[in-house]
Amino acid sequence: MVQLTSAQAKALRNVTKYARRHKPAAERQIEHILKMANVPWELFREAKEKVFKGARVALHFHPDRLAANGESVAGNLLESGVYKNQFETSISAGSLTARKGGLRHQHEQKLFGGAYNRWAVKGHHRPKYGALDLTFSADGPSPRFGSCFLLLKPQISWRSTFTYLDSFTLPQSKGTYAEFDLIWSALLLDLFQSRSALGKKDVTVRGFLESLLENVGSPHRQPHLGEASRNLDHYIEAQVHGPVSLSSDSELLVADPSFKNTSVGHELQRLSAKYKVRLLWHMGFAMAVAEIPPDFRGAGMPSLAKRIAGEGVLTTEMIGRAVANLTKHPSAWAKRGSYAEVLQELKLLWHVLL
DSSP string across 62-129: -TTSB-TTSSBHHHHHHHH-B---HHHHS--SS-S--STTSHHHHHHHHHTTTTT-STT--GGGSPEE
Number of helices (H) and strands (E), helices first, in the chain?
13, 12
Q: Whole-angstrom Cα distance, residue 83 to residue 105?
A: 19
Picking from 239, 150, 165, 242, the residue whose alpha carbon sits closest to that of residue 198 is 165
Tell me if residue 248 falls in helix, strand or coil. Answer: helix
Q: Establish how many alpha carbons lie within 13 A of residue 199's alpha carbon, considering only the half-sphere containing its beta carbon.
A: 26
In sequence order, what are the beta bridge partners of 277? Answer: none
Tell me if residue 158 falls in helix, strand or coil. Answer: helix
CB atoms within 10 A of CB 19: 22
* pLDDT for 23: 98
pLDDT-flagged residues of the chain (< 70): 92-102, 119, 219-221, 224-225
- Rg over alpha carbons for the chain, rounded to the nearest Å, is 20
Angle between helices 181-194 and 23-36 (to 10 degrees): 30
Consecutive H or E run containing 317 = helix 316-328
* pLDDT for 206: 98
* pLDDT for 261: 96
Q: Give pTM, 2 decimals.
A: 0.93
* Identity of the residue numbered 96: L
CB atoms within 10 A of CB 246: 21
Beta-carbon contacts of 330 under 8 Å, excluding residues fewer than 6 positions away, are 339, 342
Q: What is the DSSP letter of 228?
A: P
